[in-house]
């Protein structure tokens, strides 16, 4: 069950997966459907004990860390075996160099790019990766699939300092980040309201440092498809006002992004120095 780890934290009883459970279940009462407070947030006034979205994040920690610890143990065992084999075949100086490199990487901010294929993909993602690495980030590409184990995705983002992604449902993954981390949402043409309402504002409430990067018309693939004075490029709101089907067809399904790296680099540099300062602050706190 994909969300079994989370559901196990919400009830004293095991979750029922009706896709595999064909029994008839009888209950004295039931709530059918969802109760929503707002977009990706929790209204503490409606919660017992005035719980907030930060409490939900703690719940995610409790749900996923047992599995993550298991993954870490497996990796450590594999690494120990690999090190034994290497030490038998290579000089100890090589092992020392590898250890130094690993330590250096651990001191650099980690940036995760949530990658897309097809619509709203970043077509120069490879150049973005190189630029981020040149600035000083350790970069990891995350390509979540329907079958991806959520604990593994949680681990990647929970250990990151920065997440970059183009507006879309995958941006809900900001909930896997630690408060104080940076979330950069690339906002394609025609998606301003949805990007800010569904992800930007909730990210701020969650405690993230949020940056909305609104692309310019020249950064959109639509720039090559329409006249430069077409409302699709210069007045997306007028197009959105025609209805959801126009928004979806033009801005969500037929648009990709080619970042102006010079423009984007300015934001990324500020984020890098912020992340370095945060890491130093964290290390200082641990040493006290």
Phi/psi region, residue 180 (left: phi>0; alpha: psi -120 to 50; beta: rest), is: left
pLDDT of residue 95: 54
Contact in structure between 274 and 182 (CB atoms under 8 Å): yes
Tell me if the domain spanning 107-287 has CATH number 3.40.50. Answer: yes
pTM recorded for the entire structure: 0.86
Give the mean pLDDT of 165-191.
Answer: 97
- Read off the pLDDT of residues 187-240 as tens digits, 9 standing for 90 and up: 999 999 999 999 999 999 999 999 999 999 999 999 999 999 999 999 999 999
Higher pLDDT, 143 or 96: 143
The fraction of the chain above a pLDDT of 70, given in percent, is: 92
Domains of the chain: which residue ranges? Answer: 107-287
Query: How many whole angstroms separate alpha carbon 245 and alpha carbon 177?
Result: 33
**In this structure, are residues 174 and 211 in contact, taking their beta carbons and an 8 Å threshold?**
no
Do 170 and 142 touch, CB atoms closer than 8 A?
A: no
Structure tokens at 196: 């800010």
């Amino acid at each position: 069950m994909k969300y079994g780890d989370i559901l196990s934290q919400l009830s004293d009883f095991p979750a029922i997966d009706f896709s595999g459970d064909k029994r008839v279940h009888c209950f004295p009462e039931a709530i059918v459907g969802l109760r929503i407070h707002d977009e990706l947030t929790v209204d503490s006034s409606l919660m017992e004990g005035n719980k907030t979205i930060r409490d939900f994040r703690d719940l995610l920690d409790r749900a996923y860390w047992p599995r993550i610890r298991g993954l870490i143990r497996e990796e450590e065992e594999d690494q120990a075996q690999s090190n034994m084999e290497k030490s038998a075949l290579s000089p100890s100086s090589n092992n020392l160099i590898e250890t130094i490199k690993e330590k250096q990487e651990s001191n650099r901010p980690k940036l995760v790019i949530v990658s897309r294929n097809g619509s709203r993909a970043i077509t120069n993602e490879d150049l973005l990766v190189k630029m981020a690495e040149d600035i000083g980030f350790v970069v990891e590409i995350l390509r979540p699939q329907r079958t991806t184990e959520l604990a593994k995705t949680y681990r990647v983002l929970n250990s990151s300092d920065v997440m970059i992604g183009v507006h879309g449902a995958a941006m809900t993954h900001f909930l896997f980040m630690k408060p104080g981390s940076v979330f950069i949402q690339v906002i394609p043409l025609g998606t301003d309201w949805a990007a800010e309402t569904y992800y930007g504002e909730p990210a701020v409430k969650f405690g993230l440092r949020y940056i909305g990067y609104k692309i310019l018309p020249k950064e959109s693939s639509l720039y090559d498809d329409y006249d430069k004075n077409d409302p699709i490029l210069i007045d997306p709101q007028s197009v959105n006002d025609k209805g959801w089907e126009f928004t979806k067809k033009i801005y969500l399904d037929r648009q990709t992004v080619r970042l102006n790296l010079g423009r984007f680099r300015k934001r990324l540099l500020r984020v890098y120095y912020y992340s370095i300062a945060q890491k130093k602050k964290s290390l200082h706190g641990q040493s006290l």
